[in-house]
């Protein structure tokens, strides 16, 4: 993992795979320290699984024989003078607490936290409750409130995805201060206060007509992106953002963008499956954000699979 935001995304994807309906993610970053707390209401782990969850050669997945997410995060924290603690019980969810010295020479940068929170928020399940605290203030993103305000409009809508990103950028800048951005210490954005309920309502009304039209369409084009540990490490988050941006820019009513876990071929990640009406599914491997424009233009719009 190149940065902390990728570790965080991976942990949240683990919670989704565990059947969580709600995720509470809190990040406190100030005074040279960072604390990350993730709580979910998923299936949880029994005592055997809890004792082995930090072993990279143990996993409950059937697609591969190793589970790297938690061991990698623990190793990262310990290399920076910190540690990680996991609490869980069968049927009661899981709680992960991480702390580390953010000023430590071996600590990776925070990275694109905006994109990470966007990706988590765009999942149909679970619902994200996010709080961030920086040296100059705090930021919150309550997807329960946003889902309620959106009504029938899906949280994975490209327009909503973009709105969340803009909101986060403004909030993170306030929470961390312009000096941190100017120093290149961080390159992410985030949420401070809801920009405007009226603005979100305008997006809902503008998007709802498109959603209804898509439902009446002969069939939607479905794009599914593998977001397992291997996919995230290989750059799947950037690919997800690129597809969302293309769909938003082109106003594609017949295209949906979804996420899934490990797709079973780690050396071929990031992997993207494209399913167009009346055509066989096509699986693209080792996809980069630069490839997305051609996939959308030639395959989704032109109905001709791309050969790279």
Give 2-36 as a DSSP string: -SHHHHHHHHHHHHHHTT-SEEEEEEEEETTEEEE
Q: Domains plus CATH for the chain?
A: 4-203 (3.30.565), 219-301 (3.40.30.10)
Among residues 302, 264, 303, 268, the alpha carbon closest in space to that of 284 is found at: 268
Please say if the pLDDT value at position 177 is more than 80: no
Among residues 181, 128, 189, the alpha carbon closest in space to that of 162 is found at: 189
Mean pLDDT of 98-111: 89
Q: pTM of the predicted model, to two decimals?
A: 0.82
What is the per-residue pLDDT for 118? 92
Please say if the pLDDT value at position 11 is more than 80: yes
DSSP characters over 91-125 = TS-EEEEEEEETTSTTPPP---HHHHHHHHHTSSS
What is the per-residue pLDDT for 59? 54
Mean pLDDT of 199-226: 70
Could you tell me the pLDDT band of residue 35, with boundaries at 50, 70 and 90?
very high
Please say if the pLDDT value at position 136 is more than 80: yes
> CA angle 199-202-204, nearest 5°?
115
Q: What percent of the chain has pLDDT over 90?
A: 36
Give, as one character, the DSSP assignment of residue 302.
T
């Amino acid at each position: 993992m190149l940065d902390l935001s990728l570790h965080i995304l991976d942990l949240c994807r683990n919670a989704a795979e565990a059947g969580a309906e709600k995720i509470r993610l809190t990040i406190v970053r100030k005074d040279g320290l960072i604390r990350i707390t993730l709580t979910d209401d998923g299936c949880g782990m029994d005592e055997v699984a809890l004792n082995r969850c930090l072993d990279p050669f143990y996993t409950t997945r059937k697609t591969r024989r190793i589970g790297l997410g938690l061991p990698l995060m623990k190793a990262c924290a310990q290399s920076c003078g910190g540690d990680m603690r996991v609490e869980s019980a069968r049927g009661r969810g899981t709680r992960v607490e991480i702390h580390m010295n953010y000023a430590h020479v071996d600590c990776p940068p925070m990275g694109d936290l905006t994109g990470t929170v966007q990706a988590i928020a765009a999942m149909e399940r679970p619902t994200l409750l996010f709080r961030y605290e920086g040296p100059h203030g705090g930021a919150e993103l309550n997807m329960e409130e946003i889902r309620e305000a959106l009504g029938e409009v899906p949280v994975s809508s490209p327009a909503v995805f973009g709105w969340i990103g803009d909101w986060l950028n403004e909030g993170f800048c306030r929470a961390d201060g312009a000096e941190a951005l100017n120093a290149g210490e961080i390159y992410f954005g985030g949420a401070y206060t809801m920009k405007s309920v009226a603005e979100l309502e305008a997006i809902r009304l503008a998007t709802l007509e498109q959603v209804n039209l898509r439902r009446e369409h002969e069939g939607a084009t479905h794009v599914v992106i593998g977001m397992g540990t291997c996919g995230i490490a290989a750059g799947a988050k950037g690919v997800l953002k690129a597809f969302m941006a293309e769909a938003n820019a082109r106003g594609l009513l017949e295209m949906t963008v979804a996420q899934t876990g490990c797709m079973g071929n780690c050396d071929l990640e990031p992997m993207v499956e494209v399913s167009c009406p009346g055509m066989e599914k096509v699986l693209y491997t080792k996809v980069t954000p630069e490839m997305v424009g051609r996939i959308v233009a030639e395959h989704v719009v032109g109905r001709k699979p791309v050969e790279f």
